[in-house]
Structure 1
């Protein structure tokens, strides 16, 4: 069995485990998706533990996106340009970091037929905002 997780603080309210475990079950994949609440001062130790426990990847939410970007051994173009990681996958020598928020943001505008302009206001917080 392979393990995945969402990490953050707090994450008890997250619907990610329900959503992902339902999909994993539907496709009969032998994986489990967990929510792991991590205080900022414990982040590096927990990520090292996820590696030792052979997790295959994890998602990141507040307040850890920027710190995980500093820990990842490689970053996608989006993660490098935002300085924030929300998805990791296990590589042979460490975690590769990605930022899927950028594509989600752009896709949302496209689906709504909103024209991309030079200036916009983003309401939010954290690395991706």
Structure 2
């Protein structure tokens, strides 16, 4: 990569709000440099109100693509020219390519989570029962992809019960009948968790600077659960620490970030990423923040 962007440099833009915690820019830029690619990855914080104007302007610049994070993964869809079939099924986008002035949305979140989960646990998602906290863009991607990969059952819990019910219905109609909304009362949650193999926090609860926030009561954790958290800042969230203290195997969120980023890198450039370099940067930066 050139020491600074020039008129020929292809830009990759991260859209979201807030973005101060993100390690995606250095993770991608390290690999651009190592592969001698004339690309530059840049974060752009944007509000929901300004998203249409900012996205339209950037898409007409020398941009190869975008990554999209909270809170824009679903709202961005209406501004795209085309959707990959998996992203259309999921109903959320985290990666966008720009080719010949046309934008196309993809979703690499679910595959990134599954690759991280299976490597960390040395097991497969096939045949397992999952309990998801949240029903936003990341939850949609993970739940839909789990259903594609043969999850036995997917229980979804959200503070707004109707949103969990809507997502479960979509999974059952679009993929196969394997999802249900988890009830709100503690006894109902406890029963759903007792019947699950894996708990996944897909919300932002516990993310810096609110590290002490738990996405569910600690008393609901049980040693039979594998506990995964897609929050990666901090590396060890309060949920993961609590789960580990209960004897649960854990899956931190950094692996998902690395693998979804690697898949996006290939879409932006057409070049296989150096996943080990991405992981080295990610772990180094996060260790320095602890």
Structure 1 residue 44 displacement after superposition = 0.7
Give the root-mean-square deviation of aligned CA atoms: 1.7
Q: Secondary structure at the match of 2:63?
A: coil
Q: Does 1:120 align with 2:130?
A: yes
Pairing of 1:9-88 with structure 2 (within 5 A): 9-88=17-96
Alignment check: 8 A CA contact 1:69 1:79 kept: no
TM-score, normalisation: structure 1: 0.90
Structure 1 residue 89 displacement after superposition = 0.3
List gaps (5 residues or longer) in structure 2: 1-8, 140-290
TM-score, normalisation: structure 2: 0.42
CA deviation string 1:57-104 (max 9, x = no partner): 010000000011222211112211111000000022421000001212
Which of 111, 114, 121 is residue 106 of structure 1 equivalent to? Answer: 114
CA deviation string 1:20-54 (max 9, x = no partner): 11111111111110000001100011111112212
Q: Using the alignment, how far apart are the partners of 1:4 and 1:25 within structure 2?
A: 14
Alignment check: 8 A CA contact 1:40 1:63 kept: yes
Higher share of residues assigned helix:
2
Q: Which portions of structure 1, spanning 4 or more consecutive aligned residues, are displaced by more than 4 angstroms?
A: none
Aligned positions, number: 129
Distance change in 2, residues 1:63/1:116 (3 Å): same
Alignment check: 8 A CA contact 1:109 1:116 kept: no
Higher share of residues assigned strand:
1
List gaps (5 residues or longer) in structure 1: none
Distance change in 2, residues 1:106/1:54 (3 Å): same
Q: Using the alignment, how far apart are the partners of 1:107 and 1:70 within structure 2?
A: 29
Structure 1 residue 119 displacement after superposition = 4.1
Structure 1 residue 5 displacement after superposition = 1.4
